[in-house]
Amino acid sequence: MEIGKKLQTSHLWDHLFEDSQLKKDLEELVLPDYIITCRWFAGKSSTIKHVRVDHAHRLADKKQAYYILMLEVQFKEAFSHQYLLPLAFIPDEEEAQYTEVPVISRLRADNREGFLIDALFTADFRNLLFDLMVKNKEMPLNQGVLQFESSTSFKPPTGKKVFSEILKTEQSNTAVIYNNRYFFKWFRRLFPESNPDLELSRFLNLNHFPYTAQYMGSISWLRMDKPRISLGLMQQKLDNEGDAWKWMLQEVNAFFSGFDQNHQLQLTWEPKETLFDPVKPKNLSPQTRSQLGKKLMKGVVRLGKRTAQMHLALARDNGQTSFTPVAFNPDYSVWLKNKVTYLFDLRIGLLEKNIGKLRGLAREYGQVFLDRRNEVLEEILSFDETTLCSMRTRVHGDYHLGQVLVHEDEFYILDFEGEPESTIRDRKVKQSPLKDVAGMLRSFHYAIYATLFDEEKNWTLPQHDLFDLAERFYQLLCGLYLHGFIRTAVRGGLDIGYRPEIHYLLRYHLLEKAVYELGYELNSRPAWAIIPLRGVMRIMGF
């Protein structure tokens, strides 16, 4: 157990935040040091200026009281984040139960020595949340109520003991598994309105979309004349063999290994159409189908079909104006160009700063991008909504292979929070479903080049041959995926436009996505910057 700083003030636990000195000590001495150690804290690349406890909501059952803190973290870079942190007090005599739990602070409360920890690490707190959701409770607060909601599908077996555990793969949120049947996501980052993950999960469930985790319930903070704030989301726990990224890497590795082990093999399929045209499996030669493998071909087509079915459900107009499809208009065009231009400017600055850290082809591509930046910017600013006749809908917003689970050759789509860099309002803007399609096509590109550039692989094929094979393979995957998507979308009545419009929107959103990815790679793993840079090269024809 890690030892946190000690708060000297003695007080009653039930009146913790009536002690102004203790609150000040928490804000100034304890929370800044604790937060930066948490995996869910998204501000690690910035400098904390101040942490403020905006709200401290007391939540209690017959055994114990807890506090749910809503924190504002102000950064020296002149922006702020809001986070959600539940607190529990553990007396020293119970310390043996929490040997691997990080301590927020030492504390003396109710004449007992003990320590503060994140309440989610206590089974009693987790079970309290579960019980309140089952009962659809509303807990009064100083401002508004804490609403615990459950769907009609959430029917835990009566008389069965509830057991829970925190998933150790904690990242931007904290996940709890209940009875190996329910998956609860405690949102760490707070937004001034409902979380899109909760909104889309509930909407897809209402519209009977079966290829996602079923919505079971949620926790929200409701206040008069203000948007609801989402605290947590309960869903069905899906059995799975891993995500589609892992599945795709295995298939891509098998594909390239076949050619690397036999240099006489040739991929006979020659792309005659553009990158954005569907490819029917039956139109491929027996040799190409054999080289791709039945599992990969069927899987990619099925993934395209499931993507279209998700968008058909999201486009269903059931009277909720926040989901009603809308046409393209000048306001959207201005918003999109401003958003992508701002993103582009940030990436150019980052690339100029880090170009010296890149090596080989990555540096070569990076320099081409810098030298021809005006052409890329012109492409971004050329977006013209007057040529578009399709409809915009709510979208996933951060769609890639890692957001899809695989189970028995079936795909299940998850995690609808949207792009981490975007504001909550931007994540809810209605866009073309082809934005999500472009995200998945970029993910295919990533899987291919992540395999090629894997330092543990000793490919014997010459680099030129590998790249030629990779580009034709990529185009095949895109074509198969688009075959599944477009056929299902058109048959279902999803308005995505005709062929020229589909090509136009895919090209634009592929460029947007590649520029977005470049920032992540330059900040987190510069060795992978070559992948989005190569994507920009292909899209722009450099």
- So what's the pLDDT on residue 10? 54
- So what's the pLDDT on residue 3? 44
Q: Is CATH 3.90.1200.10 the classification given to domain 239-262+278-328+389-497?
A: yes
- So what's the pLDDT on residue 464? 86
Say which residue the tokens 């005709």 belong to: 498
CA angle at 335 for the pair 334 and 339, rounded to the nearest 5°: 115
Answer yes or no: are the C-beta atoms of 96 and 103 closer than 8 Å.
no
| Token pair recorded at residue 172 | 């931007």
Residues in a beta bridge with 147:
138, 220
From first to last of its 542 residues, the chain has per-residue pLDDT tens of 444 555 655 567 888 888 888 889 899 999 999 999 999 998 888 899 999 999 999 998 888 899 999 999 999 999 999 999 999 999 988 888 888 888 999 888 888 888 999 999 999 999 999 999 999 999 988 889 999 999 988 887 777 788 999 988 767 899 999 999 999 999 999 999 999 999 999 999 999 999 999 999 999 999 988 999 999 999 999 999 999 999 999 999 999 998 888 877 777 777 665 778 899 999 999 999 999 999 999 999 999 999 999 999 999 988 889 999 999 999 999 999 999 999 999 999 999 999 998 988 899 999 999 999 999 999 999 999 999 999 999 999 999 999 999 999 999 999 999 998 899 999 999 999 999 999 999 999 999 999 998 878 889 888 888 888 998 999 999 999 999 999 999 999 999 999 999 999 999 999 999 999 999 899 888 888 999 999 999 899 88
> Does the pTM of the predicted model rise above 0.75?
yes
CATH, range 126-236:
3.30.200
Domain parsing of the chain, residue ranges: 5-118, 126-236, 239-262+278-328+389-497, 335-387+498-542
Using CA atoms, how far residue 202 sits from 218, 278, 312, 489, in Å, is 9, 32, 15, 22
Name the nearest CA neighbour of 120 among 52, 175, 181, 54.
175
